[in-house]
Amino acid sequence: MTEFTTTGALVEFAGGRQSGKTLLLHIMCSINSLKNTKTCYVDNVGRFDPEFIFKYLEGTQTLKNNEIYAKMKLVSHARAYEVGDLFSIIKKLWIMDYACVVIDDLLTYYSYRQDRNAKEEIRNIIREIALLALCKRVCIIFTNPFLVDSNNKFASRSTTHELRFNDIVRYIHFKAIISKGMHNMLECEFVYPAKLENMKLILFPRASKKYRI
């Protein structure tokens, strides 16, 4: 998955509640730091946890404390609690040199709205970040929740509560369904394009118990 950060792409990870979407973004920030890749974490619900990144880097047992803090400076945190804040951040990213941008839970901005303008606004956001990814070769990763049925299985694609507007698929290069697997593992099933191999991510076994899946 880290090859996305060197080529520029728009990646969507969808999943149910507590499926590990936020955890995946923190792992991406940690891996990028190890590779000296600058990352911007856009947070709209207050889930950003720098302690996780510290524990992840510490778990490699290859870095001293001063090196860990230097690596952590490669990850920036931006708060965007309103749609206007997100648009403002996107504009600023055009003049910054981040190689990767992660947006935690894009649909949260519209989960409480029922008006028609919500769909149009979210289309505009997707267009803006897609343009940023294409023109600046930035990897932009965003998460998106969807409904699960009573048997705790993913609902059918036709009933998922996700970003499935007709004209959005043109802008999304990669799309995956994320879920918790066995043995402290996150499993990602790529549904677009289908030819991509599924992947599994595991936390370092020495990571704090607080962050075990």
pLDDT reading at 135 higher than 70: yes
| Surface-to-core class of residue 14, CB atoms within 10 Å of its CB (0-12 exposed, 13-18 middle, 19+ buried) | buried
Prior bond of 193 cis (ω within 30°): yes
Tens of pLDDT, residues 12-61: 888 877 788 888 899 999 999 999 999 999 998 888 999 999 999 998 88
The encoded tokens of residue 69 equal: 């803090």
pLDDT reading at 119 higher than 50: yes
Higher pLDDT residue, 38 or 128?
38
Please give the tally of structural domains in the chain.
Answer: 1
CB 30 within 8 A of CB 149: no
Please give the DSSP secondary-structure letter assigned to residue 16. -
Q: Mean per-residue pLDDT for 91-114?
A: 83
Residue 175: helix, strand or coil by DSSP? strand
Highest average pLDDT, of 85-99, 104-118, 144-158, 191-205, comes from 85-99
Look up residue 207 and give its amino acid. A
pLDDT reading at 157 higher than 60: no
pLDDT reading at 184 higher than 70: no
* Least confident window among 38-42, 139-143, 174-178, 208-212: 208-212
The share of the chain scoring above pLDDT 90, in percent, equals: 30
Q: How far is CA 160 from the centre of its chain?
A: 19
Name the residue range of residue 10's domain.
4-211
Q: Where residue 155 sits, what CATH number does that domain have?
A: 3.40.50.300
* Residue burial 99-118, b: 16+ Cβ < 10 Å; e: rest: bbbbbbbbbebbeeeeeeeb
Q: Which residue is it, tokens 């499935």?
A: 164
Give me the pLDDT at residue 147, please: 46
Give me the pLDDT at residue 40, please: 96
Mean pLDDT (the chain) is 77
Distance in Å from the first CA to the final CA of the chain: 20
Residue 45 CA to residue 109 CA, distance in Å, equals 10
